[in-house]
Chain A
């Protein structure tokens, strides 16, 4: 069964450093998403991406965050200058074009900012 692959599974970074979280969505999917879950809290929407541009973003997704699809297969989330409160599990998801609920989530990247 097709999967969404995320790397790395765990990342520890120092406050102020840049991090890039990587995702390989399912190949025929056209909508891509990042969600995050701070420990003990809800899974929260960050951003959706379609047709090579951001289609929707939450108030969490400020100027420190960016996304891109650099090569037609990877979908990345960059945090420019990490803060302690960015520590969370980050989930990538993709969705097939004909279904508005056919999400497939990756297994997540646990980011720890120290």
Chain B
């Protein structure tokens, strides 16, 4: 079974500061990894994903994440936070062997708060 742990239910940063949202996973095989963002009253929007290849992946809105197999981590970063980044962020995994149905296993989410 797969699981995802997101450290910190809330992370607060100042505008312009580095954003670091942590995600660790447990999986019997290297999983596919995802970060989703949820703005208020909106659905889950894919920020970025890792499936194979380069372990540093870039997503929308200046976010990136690095897959570190040895640390079973997929932390999300952004060099400089904007007020518009305030949202809830979810890390998720899926089993690449299960290509048919590909259910996602989510973490609990981290609310990013950005102050002026």
Contact = CB atoms under 8 A, between A and B. Distances in A.
Interface of A: 4, 6, 9, 31, 33, 35, 41-45, 48, 50, 55-56, 91, 93, 95, 100-101, 103, 105-108
B101 A55 contact: yes
A105 B103 contact: no
A107 B106 CA distance: 17
B101 A48 contact: yes
Main secondary structure of the interface of B (DSSP, over half): loop
A43 B44 contact: yes
B108 A33 contact: no
Given A91-B44, A101-B102, 17 more contacts: A9-B41, A31-B101, A35-B104, A42-B109, A43-B92, A43-B106, A45-B103, A45-B104, A55-B101, A95-B102, A100-B32, A100-B100, A101-B32, A101-B51, A101-B94, A107-B41, A107-B42
B108 to A, nearest CB: 5
7 contacts: A43-B109, A48-B101, A93-B44, A101-B32, A101-B94, A103-B46, A106-B43
Interface of B: 32, 34, 36, 41-46, 49, 51, 90, 92, 94, 96, 98-109
Contacts of B104: 35, 43, 45, 103
Contact of B96 (A91, A100, A106): A100
A47 to B, nearest CB: 9
Contacts of B98: 100
A8 B93 CA distance: 28
Given A43-B106, A44-B106, A105 B101 contact: no
Given A101-B34, A105-B44, A56 B106 contact: no
A42 B3 CA distance: 11
B51 to A, nearest CB: 6
Given A31-B101, A43-B90, A105 B45 contact: yes
